[in-house]
């Protein structure tokens, strides 16, 4: 009898051991013990945001209470993906068993969401994401979320706000961060009048692409409570993302004195009316306008203390030294030129922008990058430059006036010829990206003068076949190199690369070296202490040293 019990007890122990190692088994939910367990596992959108603790990701859910049955009650993060685009009534009481739940993400549309008392005492983050196409018409009554006493971050995406009670957010004691994305509304007041009930609000994101007119808000709460003003005094972060705006009424944005980021498609006439909207300051402004006059626009930059602009235009020729005088306070400029635009940018405008630190230009028809020939003195402010143009050649001392530059990104140009000493003068440059070009060879003096360079990317230059001796020896601070795809005549069976001749003494200080050989064998030669090491790597695409 004793012998009969042993196998059975061992099976139980084995089952418990498997459960403790691999986690709980569930028909619709994957359960993870840490963020490291889910790095390569779907669904990435929810799980990549997991803050901590035991996590459950549930797919093809039809009835929440039934499909979540059997989950461990001590989970901290729960991601739910409903099967149907439209579902019935959901009660927050369906999660009452998960008293330790801190993060809740639900993908799916419900006809109604009901409250419940003290069901989620530790919930800090909740995201409701409706249908991918269109908006979810969900009835959410007054004070539905009032009992979420620790909720501090709420995201509502693709849910129509007009089907929710005006005071839907009233009574949530610690709600600080709110994101309303694609609310399906054309009336600005419908959004503002609901948000005004959140008394502890500090960070706000509104994406309202369907709104075309920004009017003053007429909220019932202002008529019944005279002491409450339409100003969010405690806001430290505010992002407003609109589509095409055709009219801005005076005082329409008076509740937002300081805006962190604003994006809109607008005519110049309406753009220049922004100060009349009641806004006092915008940190970052993104806009699209075909008729932009930079001299007038820079007056707006001055009035609203704008530090960063992202703009798309079809007429970049209006940029000039005289037109940007009032833009002197700008610290970052991102220019996107329409793909059909022919006019070239005259680069002398940057000498006027004394406080500019970041310059990023995307112009597929721009074939020159003359930043320095007109400069009488160094441009000391710029530390980061991104140029995605149509340039094919870099001349000697091309960037010599940018002595304080730290990051130069020339990714995705048509570069095929880099003259010797092209980067001379960039003594403080730390990062250089030359990936995705047509570079075929590198000379001994190609990178001369880059004494502070630590990171170099040459990937996606598939025709590189000639690297001169001592090409990288000047780069005394180099740590990471991405050579990308090397090539040689097809008559040669093997690609031979003498790393010591190319890198010299700095080879020993490299932490990362990436080489790709188009699936052809490569022979690497390294000299150390007068001993020659020959490394033959057959048929490997990526090689790291």
The 3-state secondary structure of 268-292, one letter per residue: HHHHCCHHHHCCCEEEEEEEECCCC
Alpha-carbon distance 180 to 182, whole Å?
7
Alpha-carbon distance 339 to 364, whole Å?
6
H or E, element range at 190: helix 188-195
DSSP secondary structure code for residue 318 in this structure? G
More confident residue, 482 or 6: 482
Q: Report residue 479 as tokens.
A: 């740590």
What's the pLDDT at 51? 59
Q: What is the mean pLDDT of residues 126-148?
A: 88
Position 365 confidence tier, pLDDT thresholds 50, 70, 90: confident
| pLDDT tens digit sequence for 419-463 | 999 999 999 999 999 999 999 888 999 999 999 999 999 998 876
What's the pLDDT at 539? 38
Alpha-carbon distance 93 to 333, whole Å?
49
Position 495 confidence tier, pLDDT thresholds 50, 70, 90: low
| pLDDT tens digit sequence for 382-424 | 999 999 998 999 999 999 999 999 999 999 999 999 999 999 9
What's the pLDDT at 5? 44
Angle at 398 between CA 377 and CA 284, to 5 degrees: 70
Helices and strands, number each (H, E), in the chain: 8, 31
Q: What's the pTM?
A: 0.83
Q: Average pLDDT of the chain?
A: 83
Alpha-carbon distance 101 to 12, whole Å?
30
Model confidence at 44: pLDDT above 70: no
| pLDDT tens digit sequence for 324-353 | 889 999 999 999 988 777 778 888 888 889
Alpha-carbon distance 167 to 146, whole Å?
10
| pLDDT tens digit sequence for 513-543 | 888 655 554 545 455 444 444 444 443 444 4
Model confidence at 2: pLDDT above 50: no
What's the pLDDT at 536? 43
């Amino acid at each position: 009898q004793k012998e009969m019990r042993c196998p059975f007890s061992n099976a139980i122990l084995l089952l418990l051991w498997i459960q403790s190692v691999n986690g709980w088994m569930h028909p619709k939910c994957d359960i993870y013990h840490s963020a490291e367990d889910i790095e390569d596992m779907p669904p990435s959108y929810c799980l990549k945001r997991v803050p901590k603790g035991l996590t459950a990701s549930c797919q093809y859910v039809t009835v929440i209470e039934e499909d979540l049955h059997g989950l461990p009650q001590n989970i901290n993060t729960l991601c739910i993906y409903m099967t149907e685009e439209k579902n019935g009534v959901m009660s927050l009481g369906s999660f009452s068993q998960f008293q330790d739940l801190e993060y809740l993400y639900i993908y799916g549309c419900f006809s109604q969401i009901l409250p419940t008392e003290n069901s989620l005492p530790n919930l800090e983050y909740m995201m409701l994401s409706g249908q991918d196409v269109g908006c979810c018409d969900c009835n959410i009554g007054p004070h539905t979320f009032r009992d979420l006493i620790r909720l501090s971050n709420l995201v509502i995406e693709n849910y129509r706000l007009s089907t929710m009670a005006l005071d839907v957010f009233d009574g949530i004691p610690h709600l600080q961060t709110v994101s309303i994305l694609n609310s399906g509304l054309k009336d600005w007041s419908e959004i503002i009048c609901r948000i005004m009930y959140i008394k502890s609000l500090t960070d706000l994101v509104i994406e309202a692409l369907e709104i075309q007119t920004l009017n003053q808000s007429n909220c019932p709460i202002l008529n019944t409570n005279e002491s409450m003003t339409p100003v969010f005094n405690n806001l430290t972060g505010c992002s407003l993302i609109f589509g095409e705006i055709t009219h801005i009424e005076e005082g329409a944005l008076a509740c937002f004195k300081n805006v962190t980021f604003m994006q809109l498609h607008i005519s110049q006439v309406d753009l220049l009316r922004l100060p009349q909207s009641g806004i006092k300051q915008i940190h970052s402004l993104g806009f699209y306008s075909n008729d932009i006059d930079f001299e007038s626009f820079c007056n707006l930059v001055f009035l609203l203390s704008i530090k960063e602009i992202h703009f798309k235009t079809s007429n970049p020729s209006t940029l000039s030294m005289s037109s940007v005088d009032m833009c002197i306070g700008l610290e970052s400029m991102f220019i996107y030129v329409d793909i059909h635009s022919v006019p070239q940018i005259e680069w002398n405008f940057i000498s006027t922008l004394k406080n500019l630190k970041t310059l990023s230009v995307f112009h597929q028809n721009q074939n020159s990058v003359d930043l320095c020939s007109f400069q009488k003195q160094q441009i000391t402010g710029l530390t980061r430059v991104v140029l995605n143009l149509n340039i094919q050649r870099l001349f000697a001392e091309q960037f010599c006036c940018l002595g304080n530059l730290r990051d130069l990104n020339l990714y995705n140009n048509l570069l095929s010829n880099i003259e010797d000493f092209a980067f001379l003068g960039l003594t403080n440059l730390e990062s250089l990206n030359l990936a995705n070009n047509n570079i075929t060879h590198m000379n001994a003096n190609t990178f001369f003068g880059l004494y502070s360079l630590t990171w170099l990317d040459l990937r996606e230059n598939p025709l590189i076949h000639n690297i001169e001796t001592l090409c990288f020896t000047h780069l005394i601070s180099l740590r990471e190199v991405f050579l990308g795809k090397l090539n040689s005549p097809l008559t040669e069976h093997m690609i031979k690369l003498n790393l010591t001749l190319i890198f010299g003494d700095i080879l020993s200080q490299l932490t990362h070296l990436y080489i790709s050989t188009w699936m052809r064998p490569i022979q690497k030669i390294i000299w150390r202490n007068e001993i020659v090491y020959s490394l033959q790597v057959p048929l490997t695409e990526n090689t790291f040293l």
